[in-house]
């Protein structure tokens, strides 16, 4: 299927069609290298394994990159909070996978088409829940401490209103695993808010780790108590990208086109199914 290419690629094709110009221009053009930063510790969506960024979103981006002959995408892991700071200061071009919070993060603009969908939930230690607990937010959580990942944003006005007025306390820890350890092992918090799949996969890893006989303590049972909201994950681009990244507008446009093509192709669903089936703990 014919695709629209960026201007410099079309110029190259035109030059190659003119006798004597192809040799002067060279046989090929080196793709432009584009660095995208990804969360280094957001299992199973984006995380480091063997010094390489792994997870569902890096793998999707790599598949999209196969459809972008003009560009070579380089993926670099980064702590989430540091990545947000780099975007705000214009030091980074793109960071994944933020949710779409345009008002809360004006330094991110635009956002890519969605890489995927997530479901924000709250999980709690069972031994901290009263027998009549209904999971209603925020009334049933008054006096409790709910943790989130460092730099994590939840697009729920009732959630933040309850945090800000002090009826629910908030704690932050760097990663899924650290939050779950504080919750299920140490009991320093009562509940944890994050994506359902991220919690489930990360907790399964902890169960294996704590079940090998080397852990100093057991994990307390936890359960999902409240669904907060569905969210979509994106590549967030620095609002100031034009100051430092001349290729920005072209790449953003072509990436979204290629991403949508991939997601609409017969290849996509088997790809995602295979990822979850082969997910390593």
Q: Is residue 23 part of a domain?
A: no
Same domain, 131 and 186: yes
Is residue 6 situated within a structural domain?
A: no
Q: Are 66 and 3 in contact (CB under 8 A)?
A: no
Is there a single domain that holds both residue 238 and residue 109? yes
Does 48 share its domain with 123?
no
pLDDT bracket for residue 216 (50, 70, 90): low
Residue 76 counted as domain residue = yes
| Predicted model pTM | 0.83
How are beta strands 41-42 and 46-49 bridged, if at all? antiparallel
Q: What mean pLDDT value characterizes the chain? A: 87
The string over 44-67, giving b where at least 16 C-beta atoms fall within 10 Å of a residue's C-beta and e elsewhere, is bbbbbeeeebbbbbbbbbebbbeb
Alpha carbon distance 193, 22 (integer Å): 57
Whether residues 75 and 152 share a domain: the answer is no
Q: Is residue 99 part of a domain?
A: yes
- Looking at the fold, whether 108 and 122 belong to one and the same domain comes out as no
136 and 215 part of one domain: yes
Query: What percentage of residues in the chain have a pLDDT greater than 70?
Result: 83
Q: Are residues 153 and 89 part of one domain?
A: no
pLDDT digits (tens, 9 = 90+) for 85-144: 999 999 999 999 999 999 889 999 999 999 999 999 999 999 999 999 999 988 899 999
| DSSP letter string, 122-144 | EEEEGGGS-TT----TTGGGTT-
In a domain, 145, yes or no: yes
Q: Are strands 116-125 and 222-233 parallel, antiparallel or unpaired?
A: antiparallel
Same domain, 105 and 53: yes
Tell me if 258 is assigned to some domain.
Answer: yes
> Each residue of 231-262: pLDDT tens digit?
999 999 999 999 999 999 999 999 999 999 99
pLDDT at site 188: 97
Decide if pLDDT at 202 tops 80: yes
* Structure confidence by residue, pLDDT tens digits, 52-92: 999 999 999 999 999 999 999 999 999 999 999 999 999 99
Domain region containing 219: 118-231
**How many domains does the chain fold into?**
2
Give the phi and the psi of residue 124 in degrees, each rounded to 5: -135, 155
Residue 27 is predicted with a pLDDT of 58
Does residue 108 lie in a domain region?
yes
Residue 203 lies in a domain: yes
The residue-averaged pLDDT of 154-164 equals 61
Considering the domain architecture, whether residues 240 and 111 belong to the same structural domain is answered as yes
The answer to whether residues 172 and 147 touch, using CB atoms and an 8 Å cutoff, is yes
What's residue 231's pLDDT?
93
């Amino acid at each position: 299927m014919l695709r629209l290419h960026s201007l410099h690629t079309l110029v190259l094709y035109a030059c190659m069609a003119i006798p004597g110009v192809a040799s002067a221009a060279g046989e090929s053009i080196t793709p432009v290298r584009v660095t995208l930063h990804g969360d280094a510790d957001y299992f199973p969506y984006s995380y480091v394994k063997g010094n390489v960024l792994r997870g569902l979103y890096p793998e999707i981006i790599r598949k999209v990159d196969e459809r972008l002959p003009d560009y070579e995408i380089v993926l670099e892991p980064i702590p989430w909070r540091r990545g947000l700071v780099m975007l705000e200061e214009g030091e980074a071009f793109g960071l994944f996978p933020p949710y779409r919070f345009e008002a809360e993060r004006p330094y991110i603009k635009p956002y890519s088409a969605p890489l995927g969908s997530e479901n924000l939930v709250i999980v709690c230690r069972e031994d901290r829940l009263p027998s009549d607990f209904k999971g209603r937010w925020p009334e049933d959580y008054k006096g409790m401490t709910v943790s989130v990942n460092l730099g994590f944003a939840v697009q729920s006005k009732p959630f933040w209103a309850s945090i800000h007025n002090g009826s629910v306390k908030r704690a932050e820890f760097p990663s899924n695993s650290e939050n779950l350890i504080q919750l299920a092992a140490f009991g320093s918090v009562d509940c944890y808010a994050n994506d359902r799949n991220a919690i489930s996969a990360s907790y399964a890893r902890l169960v294996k780790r704590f079940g090998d006989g080397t852990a100093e303590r057991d994990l307390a049972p936890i359960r999902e108590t409240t669904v907060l909201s569905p969210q979509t994950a994106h590549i967030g681009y620095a609002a100031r990208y034009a100051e430092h990244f001349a290729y920005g507008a072209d790449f953003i446009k072509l990436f979204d086109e290629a991403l949508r093509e991939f997601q609409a192709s017969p290849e996509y669903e088997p790809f995602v199914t295979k990822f979850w089936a082969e997910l390593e703990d």
